[in-house]
Amino acid sequence: MSLKVFHIVFIIASLALIVFTLIWALQNRSYGLAVVAFAAGGLLFVYQRKFREKARRIGLK
C-alpha cells in the first residue's frame, strides 16, 4: 500500500469516526461537541481535497 493510499484511507476512516461522533452528540444533546465534530469534519474534508490535489501535482503514486 502506497503512502498516498494509506493517507487517504486514514482520512476517510477519521471522517467516518467524526460522523459517528456528530450523530452521537446530537442524539445526546451535546451541541458543543456536535459543533466541534462538524468543524473537524469540515476541516478534514478540505485537507483531503488539498492533499489529493498536491499528490496529483507532485506525482505521488
List the chain pLDDT tens, one digit each, 61 residues: 788 889 989 999 999 999 999 999 999 999 999 999 999 999 999 999 999 899 889 987 7
3-class secondary structure, 1? coil
Residue 60 grid cell: 505521488
Q: Could you tell me the pTM of the whole model?
A: 0.81
**3-class state of residue 14 by DSSP:** helix
Return the SS3 of 8: helix
Residue 53 is predicted with a pLDDT of 92
What is the CB-side half-sphere exposure of residue 36 using CA atoms within 13 A?
8
pLDDT reported for residue 4:
86
Q: What angle (nearest 5°) sits at the alpha carbon of residue 38, between those of residues 32 and 41?
A: 140
Quick one: cell of 27? 442524539
